[in-house]
Each structure stands twice: as structure tokens, then as C-alpha cells.
Amino acid sequence: MGFMIFTLEFLPTQHDVVKYWEGVFSRLVKTPMWKKYLSDNQFEDAI
């Protein structure tokens, strides 16, 4: 009995995933909602 593993060519690489989330968070920290969240919770922006 053998096993077969199928992969899809369009699956993102680990590097692609990291770049995606870095982009998401870099946009998030520029929003007024994020700045209000920091202020309301007495957090400092370290990103």
C-alpha cells in the first residue's frame, strides 16, 4: 500500500505568507482605529 501526496503549484511559499501578513499589519497600524485602540488601552506603538 502506497501513499500519494498531491500539491498545487499555486500554493504560497512561506516567504509569500510572511510578506502578505507584513503588508496587512503595516496598513493596519496606520489607521485611526488602531491609534484609538492604542490610546484607549494605554499601549505604545512599537511597530
Q: How many whole angstroms from its chain centre is CA 29?
A: 12
CA distance 32 to 2: 55
Tally of CB atoms within 10 A around 38: 14
SS (H, E, C) 17-30: HHHHHHHHHHHHCC
Query: What pLDDT tens digit does each residue of the chain (47 aa) get?
Result: 566 666 666 777 888 889 999 999 999 999 999 999 999 999 998 85
This prediction has a pTM of 0.61
Say what the pLDDT of residue 6 is.
67
Looking at residue 39, its pLDDT comes to 95
Q: Give the span between the Cα atoms of 18 and 32, in whole angstroms.
A: 24
Residue type, 40: D
Residue carrying C-alpha cell 494605554: 42
